[in-house]
Amino acid sequence: MSTPVISATGLFTPEDSISNAELVESFNRHVERFNADNAEAIAAGTVQPLAPSSVEFIEKASGIKARHVLSKAPILDPEIMCPRLPERPDEELSVLAEIAVKAAQQALAAAGRDAKDVDAVLCACSNLQRAYPAIAIEVQAALGIEGFAFDMNVACSSATFGIQTAADFIRAGHAKSVLVVNPEVCSGHLNWRDRDSHFIFGDVATAILVEAQEIAPETHWEILGTRLLTQFSNNIRNNFGFLNRAAPDGIGQPDKLFRQEGRKVFREVVPMVSTLISGHMADLGLSADDLRRLWLHQANAGMNRLIAERVLGHEASAEESPTVLDTYANTSSAGSIIAFHLNSADLKAGEIGLICSFGAGYSAGSVFLRKAG
Ligand code: CO8
């Protein structure tokens, strides 16, 4: 049986970024206009006035300072407040496939892997832009990969679920090289008019090349173990689907966009994830002292602080549990992979770290890695 490893990762970051100050300025213009337009109804008590957002709240509550997006100007335009990505003809690469391909090309180049030697592509992300054909198959075709491809969605945990799926293909002998891509256009399913959540998400794409150890480049990450967990909850939900339709700009049907009970998520997910990690770590015969780094899902700085403290038994330093929330915000499934991609080169051979994701479902996945090479 082959041992699965991560051979390389890739990251595509959109050029444009929105700072909290820019975001709040635009949101508050929307609030002022709404309150002015509805002044009479607000005075009569039939309409609730909107409350302004604040940079201080966002940074304190989440640790987020900015987010990259694919379509900046329309998001900041109080008349629009959502991305405007023109629909493309069927013959053109779709936007989700395009950003996935960019991240994938980086991962393939880093591993020195020719696309024709990849056996499968998994597109593991929160929101797919269409029903079919699978985005993964479009990515496969664009890269010239033979074999098979499919899409999978476990919200923010999609990447770790994708890694386990790829690792299982390798263990079972169905594939030797599997490309997992996580394109996240979160801006398209975020309600930019919702004060409670308008600051949370950003756009990005990551790629992970999972391979059999015998074909991997000399420097790679041995997958020591993977574990997945799900538990149904309505506290993070998006009802958009093929049996219903959002208005063209998503306005008026907020349940067809991302919504959450953030406080409940925080309270319920922290113990679920720390218990998952600690149990998995013990079953692998590892202790907290063996862990050099945690690459946690990037949803909220406070949540990561608590989870890391429960797992390590002490407050984690920025080096032990790096954050990318400040510049990328929450990028759903891609967050822990960005943290890994940007903060793993300094580990020495033999050192151990953990990729862990968690999110809607609820869902959580842990992947323990040991550097080789
Ligand atoms: N500006 C100023 N004040 C605000 C704002 C704002 N923008 N928003 C809320 N407030 C106020 C509230 O009105 C409230 O006031 P009061 O105390 O008077 O009632 C006060 O601030 C506190 O509000 P909250 O209780 O909501 O604030 P929290 O401290 O709980 O922080 C968070 C809110 C940041 C959302 C926090 O609860 C959190 O991060 N929770 C965890 C969230 C999480 O991890 N979610 C997982 C989502 S990822 C996922 O799986 C989804 C995948 C799909 C991707 C979707 C892409 C779009």
Q: What are the structural domain ranges in the chain?
A: 222-372
Task: Compute the distance between CA of residue 134 and CA of residue 136 in angstroms, rounded to an integer.
Answer: 5
- Tokens 């609820």, residue? 362
Tell me the sheet residues that pair with 286: none
Q: What is the pLDDT of residues 250-309, one digit of tens each?
A: 455 778 899 999 999 999 999 999 999 999 999 999 999 999 999 999 999 999 999 999
Confidence tier at 33 by pLDDT (50, 70, 90): very high
Among protein residues, the one with the nearest Cα to ligand 1's atom 54 is 332
Contact 75, 69 (CB under 8 A): yes
What local confidence, expressed as pLDDT, does residue 70 receive? 98
Q: What is the pLDDT of residues 153-204, one digit of tens each?
A: 999 999 999 999 999 999 999 999 999 999 999 999 999 999 999 999 999 9
Amino acid at site 327:
T
Active site residue 156: yes
Q: What is the pLDDT of residues 58-75, one digit of tens each?
A: 999 999 999 999 999 999
Q: Which of 200, 229, 239, 255 to mutate to test the pocket of ligand 1 (most atoms within 8 A of CB)?
A: 200
Ligand 1 atom index nearest CA of 62: 34
- Is the distance from the beta carbon of residue 57 to the nearest atom of ligand 1 less than 6 Å? yes
Confidence tier at 243 by pLDDT (50, 70, 90): confident
Ligand 1 atom index nearest CA of 155: 52
Contact 105, 239 (CB under 8 A): no
Q: Return the CATH superfamily for domain 222-372.
A: Thiolase/Chalcone synthase (3.40.47.10)
User: Alpha carbon of 138 to those of 177, 243, 350, 357: distances in Å?
Assistant: 18, 24, 37, 26
How close is the Cα of 192 to the center of ligand 1, in Å? 13
